[in-house]
Amino acid sequence: MSKIKNKKVLVTGGAGFIGSNLIEDLLKFENTVICLDNFETGHRSNLKSFSSNKRFSFIEGDIRDLEVCKKACEGVDIVLHQAALGSVPRSINDPINTNEANINGFLNMLVAARDAGVKRFVYAASSSTYGDSKELPKIEENIGKPLSPYAVTKYVNELYAHVFRLNYCLETIGLRYFNVYGRRQDPNGAYAAVIPKFTQLFIDHNSPTINGDGTFSRDFTYIDNVIQMNHLAATTENPDAIGEVFNTAVGDRATLLQMTNLLREYLAEFDEKIASVNVIHGPERKGDIPHSLASIEKAKKLLGYEPTHDLEKGLKEAVQWYWENLK
């Protein structure tokens, strides 16, 4: 598999879950890595393991500040843009801040990358862009209407990336992430993702609450699959891939109930009391897409993508990390 090697790479949102995993991997391949983060959702602790690496540098700043973006892009070959205010519920509660970070901040980064002569701009898109489309599996070219402010912002990102590719020849590639999980994902806070949040509750012998009856399904995607896609998108020489958007997923789905049962089973191998922790059902959440399943054929064909982790393998690895770090 093609890897980013001996490049100067900027990772925005690098103190976050996905960003910090990307940085850790990039440093294995003799890259010089710059991290830009304002710690609104990221954590300094995520940078601890490589903060002393001579090829790593950190800029504390906000993508809503164009001058900060320009400084971060100086001399950079590749941008891996992960910075955003995530979470559908957060965007419903606070659409203005979501818009400012995810649209204004994204535009700042595009302008800064263009002006700095960046070669490749790979950005985190989202499966929320599929909106009210009931088609399964989700195919990149067929989307519905957005169901949340967050989904609107991520779709606008794709439109802006297309325009910058068209007008300024900036090589953009978008990765529509599907429910990413894995090491370093934060279990705390009002907008914590379901897998780390449920893991922490199980470890503490507390019952997790599933929104709805548990039949909503997701294409849960382990972090290593996401890392692979970023490498492939950043290094591809296939002209048909430039300017495109790719589903970043496994190509399989599980219901929330199935995922929760697997999670409890794997955690019970460390603590048998977890096996008897019950699950609670609450009301459905506003803006949630009922079912999500990605077609990954386009990524396979144009990028050579082959996911290494299905849900079972990914959850087992994630649980091992959570057990060692969340207790």
Just list the catalytic residues. 150
State how far the Cα of 206 lies from the Cα of 199, in Å rounded to an integer: 10
State how far the Cα of 16 lies from the Cα of 82, in Å rounded to an integer: 8
State how far the Cα of 199 lies from the Cα of 197, in Å rounded to an integer: 5
Query: Largest alpha-carbon pair distance within the chain?
Result: 59
Residue 177: how many other CB atoms lie within 10 Å: 24
Residue 51, CA atoms < 13 Å, CB-side half-sphere:
11
Report how far apart, in Å, the C-alpha atoms of 152 and of each of 103, 144, 172 are: 9, 11, 19
Rg (CA), the chain: 19
Residue position matching structure tokens 């603590």 = 271
State how far the Cα of 121 lies from the Cα of 82, in Å rounded to an integer: 11
Q: What's 34's DSSP letter? A: E
State how far the Cα of 174 lies from the Cα of 178, in Å rounded to an integer: 13
State how far the Cα of 272 lies from the Cα of 60, in Å rounded to an integer: 43
